[in-house]
Amino acid sequence: MTIERSELTHTDLEDLRNTRNDYRVRRWMKTDQIISSEEHLRWFKSSKYLHLFSVWRKSLCGEIVGYSYLNPSNLLACNNCYDIGLFKIPGEEPGTGAEILQHTECFAAKTLGRCTLLAQVKVTNMKSIKLFVNAEFSETLSVDRHYRLFKKDLFIDSSV
C-alpha cells in the first residue's frame, strides 16, 4: 500500500473526531475522554500547528488510513523538540502504523529540519512501544509511571 499526506481540512474534522473517539483509539490517548463536536471545532480554529497535522490516505483511492501530528514539546529541555503522535483507522492492515510513522518522520525532516521527536506512550500499549523501538527511537527518562518516553533525533542528509 502506498500512502500520501494531506493537510487537515474542515471536511476531515468529523472523520478525525469519530476515529479519535473510537474506544480502540481513545484508550491509548493521554486524554482519553470523548471529545464533543464543539470542542473539536474550537481546537481546529485555535490551533497554531495545523500545518503539522497530517491526514494519511491511500494513494489510489484517497481513503483515509490514519493521522499523525507534531507539536512543539515542553517535555524535555531541548531546542527544536516536537511531540509526535499517530493513530491509524481501526481495522487497517498490519504495518499501516509503521508506514505512517516513517512518512511522518520524513515530513518532519523536510518541514522542521534538524529536530528531536518525542513520543509519549502508555506503558500498557505494547504495539506502540514496539513501533517506536523498531523505528529506532530510544527510551529516555519517563514523565511518570504511566508513560514511557521515546526520543529520536532527525538529521537531514544533504547528500541526497
pLDDT in tens, 88-132: 988 888 999 999 999 999 999 999 999 999 999 988 899 999 999
Number of domains in the chain: 1
* CATH code, domain carrying 47: 3.40.630.30
pLDDT tens per residue across span 22-55 = 999 988 887 788 999 899 888 888 888 888 999 9
Kind plus residue range of the DSSP H or E element containing 155: none
Instruction: Tell me the C-alpha distance between 154 and 18, whole Å.
Output: 32
Question: Is residue 159 one of the residues assigned to a domain?
Answer: no
Instruction: Tell me the C-alpha distance between 90 and 78, whole Å.
Output: 34
In this prediction, residue 89 carries a pLDDT of 87
Question: Is residue 90 one of the residues assigned to a domain?
Answer: yes
- Full domain range(s) for residue 107: 3-154
**C-beta atoms surrounding 84 within 10 Å:** 24
